[in-house]
Amino acid sequence: MSDVKKVVLAYSGGLDTSVILQWLQDRYRCEVVTFTADIGQGEELEPAREKARKLGVKEIYIDDLREEFVRDFVFPMFRANTVYEGEYLLGTSIARPLVAKRLIEIVNLTGADAISHGATGKGNDQVRFELGAYALKPDVKIIAPWREWDLLSREKLLAYAEKHGIAVEMKHKNGGSPYSMDANLLHISYEGRSLENPAVEAEADMWRWTVAPEQAPDQAEYVTLQFCRGDIVAINDVALGAAQVLAELNRLGGKHGIGRQDLVENRYVGMKSRGCYETPGGTIMLKAHRAIESITLDREVAHLKDELMPRYASLIYNGYWWSPERRMLQTMIDASQSTVNGWVRLKLYKGNVIVSGRDSATDSLFDPAIATFEDDAGAYNQADAGGFIKLHALRLRIAARLKNKLSA
């Protein structure tokens, strides 16, 4: 007899989590509470509610978390210019700590004993969900069906669904297995199918958010972004909330073929995985943020941020958003953003994001009187550079003299 009486399931309404819902009822004889997060995946979520009801669920949570997602997770991550392994903008990774947080909140609201999720035993998401859950509720029970059941293929899942009368929507037009996809306001990802061969180019009709760069408009489009403390607060002088900012940048980026990526990444569990990503708004944000920092951040502060960024990115990728080390780094990063105020003008053209201007009326460290190639009227004494160079060359000169002496 299971000691789990009630479990909160992260539920999308798709094949995997619908089978999991029924499996939990069969295997654990427990009550299931479903939680579906709207983080901007662009799908109608009410069908998930109806499907859960048909499967006997009495407590159903469908929460609009779009603003919280961008404001409290995406924006803080972009203040650090975060990129994993030089390419990945962490669209899936950054959503998981928010889902874990809400799962635990619902556990506390409903008096549930456990949470459950549909992440497989091969991927990163199981780690992200569970590290987040344990960090927020140390004694919570976690049920990960993919690590327990024998339904280890799509065919077995479909057979189970048919046996239990679970409706399944075939999303791939050719009737084959669909891509494994994850979408939110920051990105959409694709894995599986032909992508499992890293030598094969992605199918042209796979991409959903962006036009192909060669099919993008022939006329460039300019956009101006206003920053306050490192976050974008207005687009073309129109003040917007965090979720609105990202949605509009996704629209602009998608229109101009910006933000497509095809990469092989190193999963935390040890394997390499090939995935394709569309992150149009995030690609624009990263370029703009680095541009405004270039005139508002002290050199050593900027360089220290760049040195720490790979560690920060790995913490997010590996599921340590709620860890003390990530929080410590975030405090430092956020402190650095107090002067990151001003505007950046970008040109969007056929997959490219080109900086065409930037300024800060209050915090710019760019001094044209010193940087000029014209007569600076004594603002900078060029003769000082000689001593500067000699001091920095001292150790090199000493080593060279020794080498010459030994070889003589």
- Known catalytic residues are 16, 96, 125, 180
Are 116 and 144 a contacting pair, CB within 8 Å? yes
List, in sequence order, the alpha helices (H) in 186-323. 242-255, 280-296, 299-317
Q: How far apart are CA 191 and CA 83, in angstroms?
A: 19
Two structure tokens written together for 393: 């060359």
Two structure tokens written together for 255: 């229109």
Q: How far apart are CA 191 and CA 180, in angstroms?
A: 5
Q: Residue 184: CA atoms inside 13 Å, Cβ hemisphere, count?
A: 27
Q: How far apart are CA 193 and CA 275, in angstroms?
A: 11
Task: Calculate Rg over the CA atoms of the chain.
Answer: 25
Q: Judging by beta carbons within 10 Å of its beta carbon (0-12, 13-18, 19+), is residue 258 exposed, middle or buried?
A: buried
Under the phi-then-psi rule, with left for phi > 0, alpha for psi from -120 to 50, and beta for the rest, what region is 32?
Answer: beta
Q: Kindly list the strands in the beta sheet with 260-266, ordered across the sheet, starting from the edge strand earlier in the chain.
A: 180-183, 188-191, 272-278, 260-266
Per DSSP bridges, beta strands 114-116 and 60-64 are: unpaired
Give the amino acid at 230: G
Burial letters for 147-167: b for 16+ Cβ neighbours within 10 Å, e otherwise?
Answer: eeeebeeeeebbebbeeeebe
* Cα–Cα separations (whole angstroms), residue 22 to 19, 128, 162, 268, 394: 5, 24, 12, 30, 73
Per DSSP bridges, beta strands 231-235 and 342-349 are: unpaired
Q: How far apart are CA 205 and CA 193, in angstroms?
A: 13
